[in-house]
Every structure is written in structure tokens, then in C-alpha cells.
Amino acid sequence: MDKKTALITGATGGLGYELSKILAQEGYNLVLVARNQARLETTKHNLSRISNIAIETMALDLTIPTAPKELYERVQQQSLAIDLLVNNAGFGIYGRFDKTELGEELEMIQLNATALIQLTKFFVPDMLTRQNGKILNVASQAAFQPIPFFSVYAATKALVLSFSEALANELQGTGVSVSVLCPGAFRSGFQQRARMEHTIIFQSRLLLTAEEIAKIGYRGLKKNKRVIIPGWKEKMLVFSTRFAPRNLVTQIARYLVRERR
């Protein structure tokens, strides 16, 4: 009865799965959200062997504008109090803007940004009523600068970063904290989905793993850290963008996402 409950979107792979593993180890009951019910059940089975916790699965496609409200209503129907909301679901689209598909980009905006704001909007009032709760929004190192050929994705993550920092300030002293995790490139299914596995940045041998990023993210969350940037290299790159000319920062970002075959 004393266990807390975490809701994680995009929970069946990559960073979402690694965060779910950590939360299971920490004794959180889990609400796992993803599109594919079969993968959700596999994930539930794997996580149930880690700890004696309750795990609910909810198969929803958050690229559909009505899905976030439906998710919140399902949680309410099951009388689940969400103590930690992890807005992790997202994807990227790589390519020159005039060549990419508008429909796919609109789905990305809905998932990466709009659904994240919707879910936060729904769950924050309940947390404020209890005067307790945590939100972890997953942005990206891409949030700190424009990225040619990754323009819309970087813009969605810039929104997540700005929104999260502002909301964290608004909620000071309420018992509800907001943290935003800004990882650099790491190996997962993301680069295949974004069609950028051949880019320079994803061919680096120095990439952190999803497991490493999840551990750093969770440590920062426990400390109520507002902006969490995993990795010394990533921190240096973000720090350098504050002082370099904007055009130079954008040109460097363009180089890093250049294809190398």
C-alpha cells in the first residue's frame, strides 16, 4: 500500500525500458504505456521478475491527439495515483525539410511535444492536490541548438526543455518537482526510426548506453535536479553553445548529423 506508482510512456524499449527497470528495482508500481500490446506484455513479464510490484499495461498510440486524455481517464478509472510521470515517448525524423513528410512530422510534434504537455496538464493537478509528485520529461541535447536536417525534431525538444524549466519554476514550494533529461546520442532503436544510423554522431565509439543515461537521469530526478545532461562530453558541448556564435553552433550541428557511408 505504501509503494509509489510511476507511469512511463515509450516503456518497451531503449531509455523508457531502462528507466522502467530502475523504477522496478526501486519498488515503484508501474503503469507502462506504448503502442504495441504484445511488447508491453513482454516488458511486463521481464520487469515482474525484478521485484514484487504491480504492473499495469496500457496500449495507446500517443501520436493520436485524443490518446493522452484517454490514458488519463483509464488511470482514473483504475483509481491509480501517479506519483511519478515519465514523459519519455518520442521519435525523430532526419532529412532535408522539403523532402520529409509533413504527416510524419505532425505525428512527431504531437508525440514529442503536444502529448507531453497534455499528460503533464492532466496529472499535475492531482499531484498538487496531494502536495507530492515528480515529473521527468525527456528532451535531448538537440534542445540546445538548431540542427539542420533534424530541424523539427530539435524544435520539439527545445519546446520540452523550455516548458520543463518554466514549469519547474512555477511549481516551486508545492511538493511537485519537474526535471528534464537531455541525453546526447546513444544507441537504441531511435537512429533506425529516424533513418540516421549512418550519421557521424551515431557512429562515435564514445556514445553512452541507454542504461547509463537512465541511471544518471534517475539520480538527478531523486535530487530534484531541473536539467540533467548525462556525460561530460555532452555537458561541454552544451556549455560551449552559450558562448559560440549562433551560426557556428548551427554549422557544427550540421556537421555532426552529416552522413558518413
Which CATH number do you get for residue 128?
Answer: 3.40.50.720
Count how many domains the chain has.
1
Clarify whether 153 is annotated catalytic: yes
Q: How many CB atoms are closer than 10 A to CB 249?
A: 19
Report the percentage of the chain scoring pLDDT > 70: 88
Contact 136, 9 (CB under 8 A): no
**Is 35 inside a domain boundary?**
yes
pLDDT tens by residue, 188-243: 656 556 555 566 555 566 678 899 999 999 999 999 999 999 877 777 777 777 77
**Is 45 inside a domain boundary?**
yes
* 61: helix, strand or coil: coil
**Is 128 inside a domain boundary?**
yes
**Is 261 inside a domain boundary?**
no
pLDDT at residue 32, rounded to an integer? 98
Exactly one of 72, 153, 218, 255 is catalytic; name it.
153
To the question of pTM greater than 0.75 for the whole model, the response is: yes
Residue 11 structural domain: 5-256
pLDDT tens by residue, 65-96: 999 999 999 999 999 999 999 999 999 998 99
Those residues with Cβ within 8 angstroms of residue 19's Cβ, 6 or more apart along the chain or in another chain? 8, 11, 86, 88, 136, 214, 217, 218
